[in-house]
Amino acid sequence: MARAFLSRQSMNTHKPIKKAVFPVAGLGTRFLPATKAIPKELLPVIDRPLIQYAVDEAREAGIEQMIFVTGRGKTAIVENFDIAFELESTMAERGKDMSVLEPTRFTPGNLITVRQQVPLGLGHAIWCARAIVGDDPFAILLPDELMVGKPGCMKQMVDAYNEVGGNLISVLEVPQDKVSSYGVIAPGATLDMLDGTLTEVKGLVEKPPVDQAPSNKIISGRYILQPAVMRTLEGQEKGAGGEIQLTDAMARMIGEQPFHAVTFGGKRYDCGSKTGFVEATLAIALEREDMGTEVRAIAERLLAK
């Protein structure tokens, strides 16, 4: 295994990551009927909607422009980041603390929406943002995967990108018998970084049968990609599940451009599934200073029954 030590001191010649795409046009069928009228991305983990956690993570990584790929029934996601005039003036009149709304503020022009008319898959959703992405490398964050860590997952990836450039995905290890639900990497050499591990990506396969999976490292909802992926997505055939798969487009770029996986040092909660959502809520509540002790007592009482 080739090992190299990468230093933050190395010359940064890569175009900076200033844009992030948030695909939020999916149907959220696993949460019906909750998601019939409310977008999945606005379901709250305690008091913040899922999309807020993802936007905060992108901001921590120095990303400025947030591009939401929305669909019908998803307008409330954009409203979450707008000024709520009546609410705010009433709160101000009553002397309420307005700082809770601070994370929802946007510099004018930095929230951009594009529409995916039909949810044809993640790859298609990303392709819908091509005009805004233009010739810049960009990040992708799937808001239903909640990443918790210090530094955050995207910050860790941007730091790695500043060293190696090219394309990066975040990965985590799952038990081998679970791999067939995910995109899986074929790993190459491992490089040590200051905060974590970088693995060269030799191949990618979406939802492989367990006995054909090249590893147990699954793609976990955070990406930094070169704009060339948009050309690869153009005219791409449908893949696994009858959807246009981002994994297939990325797989075609391997060999032509550098491709690495970052193993995230923090925690990842799959809030696209009901049990993952419950786990995230409980784990985050237990860690919160304002409620952790009380929630722990509640959990212990419930478990003692």
- Kindly list the residues in this chain that would bind ligand UTP in the complex (CB under 6 A): 23-30, 40, 69, 116, 119-122, 124-125, 142-144, 272
Taking the complex as a whole, the smallest distance from the CB of residue 188 to ligand UTP amounts, in Å, to 27
List the beta strands (DSSP E) in 109-195: 111-115, 138-141, 145-148, 167-173, 183-193
CA dist., res. 67 & res. 19, Å (int) = 7
Taking the complex as a whole, the smallest distance from the CB of residue 70 to ligand UTP amounts, in Å, to 8
Nearest residue to the partner ligand UTP, using Cβ: 26
Cβ distance to ligand UTP smaller for residue 27 or 91 = 27
Cβ distance to ligand UTP smaller for residue 40 or 260 = 40
Cβ distance to ligand UTP smaller for residue 25 or 213 = 25
Taking the complex as a whole, the smallest distance from the CB of residue 15 to ligand UTP amounts, in Å, to 25
Residue 62 Cα to chain centre, angstroms:
15
Residue 80 neighbours by CB distance under 10 Å? 17
- Per the CB < 8 A criterion, the answer to whether 51 and 42 are in contact is yes
- Per the CB < 8 A criterion, the answer to whether 278 and 153 are in contact is no
In what helix (H) or strand (E) does residue 225 lie, and over which residues does it extend?
A: strand 217-225
Taking the complex as a whole, the smallest distance from the CB of residue 119 to ligand UTP amounts, in Å, to 3
CA dist., res. 190 & res. 141, Å (int) = 24
Cβ distance to ligand UTP smaller for residue 137 or 272 = 272
Cβ distance to ligand UTP smaller for residue 50 or 160 = 50
Report which of 268, 265, 231, 264 is spatially closest to residue 250, judged by C-alpha positions: 231
DSSP string, 34-93: TTTTS-GGG-EETTEEHHHHHHHHHHHTT--EEEEEE-TT-HHHHHTTS--HHHHHHHHH
Cβ distance to ligand UTP smaller for residue 74 or 217 = 74
106 is written with which tokens? 């946007």
Taking the complex as a whole, the smallest distance from the CB of residue 143 to ligand UTP amounts, in Å, to 5
Taking the complex as a whole, the smallest distance from the CB of residue 133 to ligand UTP amounts, in Å, to 15
Taking the complex as a whole, the smallest distance from the CB of residue 74 to ligand UTP amounts, in Å, to 8
Taking the complex as a whole, the smallest distance from the CB of residue 265 to ligand UTP amounts, in Å, to 23
Cβ distance to ligand UTP smaller for residue 26 or 137 = 26
Report which of 28, 252, 29 is spatially closest to residue 142, judged by C-alpha positions: 28
CA dist., res. 93 & res. 75, Å (int) = 28
Residue 147 Cα to chain centre, angstroms:
8
Cβ distance to ligand UTP smaller for residue 25 or 154 = 25
